Structure 1
Amino acid sequence: MDNVLSFSRGRVPLLISMPHPGTRLTPALEAGLVDEAKGLADTDWHIPRLYDFASELGASVLAAHYSRYVIDLNRPADDQPLYATATTGLYPDTLFDGRPLFRAGQTPSAEERARYLAEVWTPYHRSLAEELARLRAEFGYALLWDAHSIRSNIPHLFDGRLPDFNIGTFAGASCAPELAERLAGVCADAVGYSHVLNGRFKGGFITRHYGRPQQDVHAVQLELAQCTYMNEAAPFAYREDLAGPTRAVIRRMLETFLEWGRQRYGR
């Protein structure tokens, strides 16, 4: 397996992680998918495009190329569940709506999945950990933003319509409390948008594992309702008329993230 990720190194102490925009599939996995899964509906569509201003901010960016159907980079390697409610695991077997992902008897083998762990999951997390360590060594601290999106209505996973901006800090454990409050304040000031802090999405493995505020590594997950920037039905078209204002709010959030770091650490 090759071309598993892309990475660009920035000049400020901010890393933007994008674990779920990938659409690449392995032959073994693609051969077993049910027809309903072949459109990759559960992808975090267009996230690199939505965050295309990251280089202007000077942020480092890490993005996965393989689909979450191959292996979910926001789950722990031991596949321990992160949520008590309905969810998907390290090796998803169902679509977000609960339907089976694979045809009967066509689930990838244990050997095949072990290869995905070694050749997709491990390189992504090695790159993530190395960049956070570099940022912390250079600046004395590191800021991690885990960028996600999801359909605004998925009854199998949550009731009702999801708020537009879902900020997760592992119930306050992955970053300083005052930082989370500032980010929520940006959303509160954004006219026409809804938001929640540590609601249904409190942060997955990446936020929980790498966020260590006591060691000056602050991690935040943003789960964005896809209706704020795209059509949620296939072919999942990007909507610049929606995305422009949404991108402006995200940019303000990231600028606030950086400003907080400079005020807190003096650099």
Structure 2
Amino acid sequence: MDFRFEAGKLPLLVSMPHVGTDIPDDVAASLMPCAAARADTDWHLTGLYGFAREMGASVLSARWSRYLIDLNRPPENTNLYPGQDTTGLCPVDTFGRERLYREGMEPDEAEVRRRLELYWRPYHNQLRAELDRLLALHGKVVLWDAHSIASTVPRFFEGRLPDLNFGTADGKSCSQGLEGAMIKLVDSQDQFSFVFNGRFKGGHITRFYGNPAGGVHAIQLEMAQCLYMNEAAPFEYRPDLAGQIQPLLRELLGAAVEWVRA
């Protein structure tokens, strides 16, 4: 399978497009040694959000590494943050600007199209199908796009990233009521810093599928990885840290479901 999927009963779909680490052998042979570390993976999110399945949420997670193709980029490869540095649909370098491909082996247009059909489209077909199923059942649905990134990445932002970075495409991908419920909840605690629509406003999934008028309310959460894991290789999961953030994540998802059912 090109993804891992479990159907739930709640009006909630948790998407994890950057947790994949697999790369087909033919593509792996063209990559530089630095690619083997998969350093830019959203590590351990399936475990961190394990409670979502217990709650009854649908969960969709990627199999393939973003080094093969980025499932959270538009198929046209347009820049989601004009004027700012980003990696593309088929990245040619790492977040640390290390070259990913051996000399002369970068994917050409035909190869990008091939990867779109083989590896990008199955994930999005499943995402769309599950949103439609949940809409038919409930009338409204929350799409929670779960991400994480190292807390310091000078290429993309200055200094240390806030702990929790919520993106709603500047309020376009979900209702103001849902965004307000999320703000109220995180504002009621002082353990974790947060921002809405800061450096990360939501990627392609949040922006494309978020359609409040059509019943789909999409929110992206980009978490600083130091909240639940070691940010240096081999990127170990830290249950002691994860146990501190998981109650808030559970509250957020629970509040989102409560809002959409109201």
Normalised TM-score (structure 1)? 0.95
Matching residue of 1:156: 155
Residue 254 of structure 1 pairs with residue 253 of structure 2: yes
CA deviations on 1:98-119 (whole Å, 9 max, x unpaired) are 2222121122344433222111
Aligned length: 261
Question: Residue 14 of structure 2 contacts residue 59 of structure 2 at CA under 8 Å; is this kept in 1?
Answer: yes
Percent identical pairs in the alignment equals: 50
CA deviations on 1:160-206 (whole Å, 9 max, x unpaired) are 10000000000000001121122122222233210000000000000
Distance in 1 separating the partners of 2:188 and 2:33: 42
2:132 partner letter: A
Distance in 2 separating the partners of 1:109 and 1:82: 21
Question: Residue 201 of structure 1 contacts residue 223 of structure 1 at CA under 8 Å; is this kept in 2?
Answer: yes
Residue 67 of structure 1 pairs with residue 65 of structure 2: yes
Shift of 1:35: 2.1
Structure 2 residue corresponding to 1:52, chosen from 50, 59, 65? 50
Matching residue of 2:76: 78
Q: How does 1:170-209 map to 2 (within 5 A)?
A: 170-209=169-208
Distance in 2 separating the partners of 1:173 and 1:96: 28
Distance in 2 separating the partners of 1:156 and 1:176: 32
Distance in 1 separating the partners of 2:204 and 2:218: 11
Gapped runs of 5+ residues in structure 1?
none
Question: Residue 28 of structure 1 contacts residue 108 of structure 1 at CA under 8 Å; is this kept in 2?
Answer: no
Q: How does 1:4-19 map to 2 (within 5 A)?
A: 4-19=2-17
Normalised TM-score (structure 2)? 0.96
Gapped runs of 5+ residues in structure 2?
none
SS at match of 1:32: coil
1:150 partner letter: I
Question: Residue 164 of structure 2 contacts residue 223 of structure 2 at CA under 8 Å; is this kept in 1?
Answer: yes
